[in-house]
Structure 1
C-alpha cells in the first residue's frame, strides 16, 4: 500500500545521495538502537524489526535494542543527545510523534541535535472502540462526541503525537474545537491497548499495525482508517468515505548520534540500505501494512525540516500548544 507516497522524494533521495552505493565495506561490529517508548508500540516494533533485518543479513555482528519511554520520546531523546555524542554505533528511532511531543512538552532537546539517517515507514492510523462498546459505527461515535465532547475519552500515544493530532483533526472536521478533545495519553502501545480493551476510554487511535491482531481477533472494533484509501485486504472504511475530510499518515525514522563524522553517517546508512533490502524487512512491511517510504541523505534532511515546520504549526493551530 501507498507505493506512490513520497515517490518523487524517494527517487530524488536515491539520486542525491548516490555516495551510499559506493560506501566502504562495513566495519560495524555492534549497533545500539534506542527506542524512546515502552514496549509494544510502533517505535518498538520498528526498532526490533530493524534488529531482525540487520541480523538476518549479518550486516552487524551484534544489535541491541533498549527502551526508554516517556513524554512522547523526549525523555529517550534527551538521554540520547546527552549521552551518545560522537558514538558511531548508536541510533534512536523516532518520527512524526516525536516532532509533536517536542513542541507540546517544550522539550529542551530536539531533532536538530541528532544526525538524520533515514525515513523508514509510513502507516495509516485506525480509530477503534472496544468490542464491548455500544458504539458500532464512526457516525455513532461522532454523534456522541459532537453532542458532548468531554464524554468521549480518546486513548492513544503521547500528547501531541500523531494519534492526538488525528483526534484534533477529526474534531476540527466535525465542528468541535480541538481543545475540547478529552485525550488520554499512554507511554506505550501495550498500555494503550489495555486501556482501550478494558473500556477505560471510549475510543482509541493508533497505527493500524499496532492494533491489527486485536482487530482480527475481535477484541477491538475498527471504525475508520486515516489513509487516502482502504488498506488492501481490509474492510475498514476511510474517514473520508464516511464524510470526515481528514487524511493523515504517520512516518517513522532512525537517527544517529550528535556529532558523528560524515564517514560514520555513511556507514550507518549503508547498513540500513542492506537491512531494508532484506526479506526480513520486506515481510515486516507486508505483515504490518507499513508503506515503504525509505529516504536517506540530503532529501531526508529536507523532508524532515519541512515536516517539523508543518507539524509545529499544526499542533499550535489545534490548540495543543500555546501560541
Structure 2
C-alpha cells in the first residue's frame, strides 16, 4: 500500500473511532471530575487517569474539577462542552443519581454515554477525636432526644451518607425529615468540618477518612456494609441493632453523541486501565472493591439503581 493511501485509511479509521488501542494512544484524555478536590470522585478520577497512562491507551490525561449539586454542575458542563468528543470521560456514581433525584437538574445523565462501573465502596461514620460521644449508640440517644442537635456532615444532598443518615433516623424511630444534615461540595471541606468539630458526626467512603482514622484524629464508629470490611475493625450498623445497609459505587461515562464504535473504543481503554498494577495499587490503598460492569449491563444497572434509590429516599422522607 502506498504511504499516502495508508495515511488516508488511518485518518478514515480515526474518524470512525475504529483505531486499535495502540494507534489511538497519542490522544490526550480529558477527565471531568464533578466534585471539588480531595474527595472520592477526585481520588477515583486521578487514579483512573494514572492507570490509563500506564496501560498506554492514553499519552496524557487532563483533569477538571467542577463541584456542586451532587455532581450535577459538572454533569451539565460535561454534556454541554463535550458533545461527540471520544476523548472525554466523566467520573460519576451513586451520589450523582441521588443528587439528580433530589435536585431535579435541567440536564439528565441519559444524555451522556455509559461506559463502565469500576468500584464499590461502603461508607464509614466517624466522630472527631474530641467528641463527647464515643459510639453510634451515643449518637442515636442524642438523636432521639433532639434530632436537630446532631449535625451530620457529608457530601451533597442525596449522597449515600445523606441517605444513610436518613435511613438510620427512620430505623431508630426518628422522623428523617428532622435530621440536621450539613452538605459539603467536596471531601476536603467535609474533612475540615469534622476535624474542626463543626459537625457532630461525619460520613464518607473509608478511603477519604483513612489517613485521619490512622492518626487518631477521627474515631470510626460504624460502617454501612452488611459484614465487617476486610482488615477494618469497625462494627457495622446492623451489628449495633440498626437495620441499615447501603453501598456507594463509582463509574465513568463518555460524552454525548458517541458512535457505537467510539463507545466501544473508550470502554476498551477503561477496561485495559483496570488491569494495570497502578489500578490494583489504588484498589488496595483506598480499600475499594472491584465492581466492573460495562456495556448494556452497566446501562441497565444504572436504570435499576435510579429506581431503587428513589424508592429508598421516598421511604426515608427525602423525596
TM-score normalised to structure 2 length: 0.92
Cα distance between partner residues in 2 of 1:285 and 1:228? 20
**Number of the residue aligned with 2:312:** 314
**Number of the residue aligned with 1:48:** 46
Count of aligned pairs between the two proteins? 299
Deviation at 1:320, TM superposition (A): 1.8
Cα distance between partner residues in 1 of 2:112 and 2:140? 40
**Number of the residue aligned with 1:235:** 233
Q: Deviations over 1:91-134 (max 9, x none)?
A: 11101000010111111112111100000100010011100101
**Number of the residue aligned with 1:285:** 283
Q: Secondary structure at the match of 1:309?
A: helix
**Number of the residue aligned with 1:254:** 252
* Structure 2 residue 31 is the aligned partner of structure 1 residue 33: yes
Q: Deviations over 1:245-300 (max 9, x none)?
A: 11111000100011111111111111111100001101111111111001100111
Cα distance between partner residues in 1 of 2:226 and 2:216? 25
Cα distance between partner residues in 2 of 1:313 and 1:228? 20
Q: Deviations over 1:9-68 (max 9, x none)?
A: xxxxxxxxxxxxxx8511141111100000011000100000111122222011111101
Gaps of 5+ in 1: 1-22
Aligned counterparts, 1:1-323, within 5 A: 25-26=20-21, 27-28=24-25, 29-321=27-319
Cα distance between partner residues in 1 of 2:149 and 2:205? 24
Deviation at 1:316, TM superposition (A): 2.6
Cα distance between partner residues in 2 of 1:125 and 1:226? 5
Bigger Cα Rg: 2
Cα distance between partner residues in 1 of 2:317 and 2:72? 20
Q: Secondary structure at the match of 1:285?
A: helix
Q: Secondary structure at the match of 1:281?
A: helix
* CA RMSD, 1 decimal: 1.0
Cα distance between partner residues in 1 of 2:308 and 2:294? 20
**Number of the residue aligned with 1:14:** none
Cα distance between partner residues in 2 of 1:195 and 1:267? 42
- 283-292 or 56-65: which moved more? 56-65
